[in-house]
Amino acid sequence: MLAAAQSAGSSGWPAPRIKVTNMKAIGVSLTPDSDRPYVFVRIETDQGVVGWGEATLEGKAGAVLAAVGDFREFIVGQDPMKVEHHWQSMYVHTFYRAGPVIGSAISGIDQALWDIRGKVLGLPVYKLLGGPVNPKGVRGYYHARAGTKEEMARLRASAKQLGVTCFKSGIPGEYEWIETNRKIKRAVDSLYRLREGLGEDLDIAIDFHAKTSPSVATIICKEVEPLNLLFIEEPCPPENVKAMARISRRTTTPIATGERLIASFGCRELIEKSVVDILQPDINHVGGISALWKVGAMAEASGISMAPHACEGPIGGLATVHVDAAMPNFVVQEICSGVQPDTKEKIWEEWMGFPAMRMVDGYFPLPEEPGLGFELTEQALAKYPFGGTLPMARVFHADGSVAEW
């Protein structure tokens, strides 16, 4: 009895066989003027197992770096295998419910703990979650960076060659609460040109980026129904659930949202009221692997599909693929990249030792290595030192009032 008590920690848990010895947040700027420098989380243990996660938050890197530091006492000295316990402690014991800064900090820590858990148990994270659903990997899409007919023809040819089956694009410009016929027609015509340019065989998703009001979004959604879009994303700000519901009821085009929502609690009302067809949480903001997995399970029970958002760095992207691979209601995975790799992807490959978040025959491949499936060194990241926090784009209407972008 005495021996048992002495071997237990102050919380009453048995002394862990593996213990966290250090946790740090690392800011990484690929360019000095980036508004989204990466925030990576590295967790070290007394057994030499290291876990990596991502807590990147666009425009608020400094705040997230500080928030990760605030959670050190929650994690250092603890058993990293108790992933859910640590998630609950960080979320609940913060008292004030998580917004994007706290949510992103928790996300990076949670991913790193899952990475450690997989490495200790000798399995990829998607296998710990019960996957894979599809051994081919995870279906994905690139962004359609094409404006002219010639560019669209080249993009279509590249897609056929690479096996890519889906792209995402957007609508041009900014929109007033009640918009002119000319502006609405411009948006509608751009989507018809995109469908004509890419053809009938490719799936197309369109991101409104919450630029439109419910009335303007409803008109555009109705006009483009013949295009059979895969989904329309964020036709209005996601916090306005009733407005989103009005748009959804008025169109046959599937409606998606979720990249700005935090934790399963932030998605609850959309799911309970069946407001949208597709949810798109971001693993770097929603609360990591644990939270994305919970949202997916909640959505499945309500007949809602999952198409997670990913527009930050490679660690969050790779972590998302693990969750996708085990979700039965998964549809498609975003990566904010073009069909041809650019400088960003080349740096990712330099870090990871493989072409991270590049599809093969239209699918993101699944690793067989344990944890998240990669090794990373701080020395590799040191070539791109943190350049500080810069704000995201600030867009204004002609009269000077604030516009969504």
Long-range interactions of 33-36: CB distance < 8 A, separation 24+: 33/387, 33/390, 34/387, 34/390, 35/59, 35/390, 35/391, 35/392, 35/393, 36/61, 36/311, 36/312, 36/392
Structure tokens that stand for 349 in this block:
């490959």
Catalytic one among 93, 209, 322, 397? Answer: 209
Pair 224, 253: CB distance under 8 Å: yes
What is the four-CA torsion angle of 385, 319, 136, 294, rounded to 10 degrees? -160
AA identity, residue 301: A
State whether the Cα torsion 275-278-279-280 is positive or negative: negative
Structure tokens that stand for 365 in this block:
């491949």
Task: Quote the DSSP letter at residue 15.
Answer: P
- Say whether 143 is catalytic: no
Pair 363, 139: CB distance under 8 Å: yes
Residue 122 CA to residue 113 CA, distance in Å, equals 14
Catalytic one among 143, 285, 309, 322? Answer: 309
- Say whether 397 is catalytic: no
Residue 377 CA to residue 390 CA, distance in Å, equals 26
Residues with catalytic roles: 209, 309
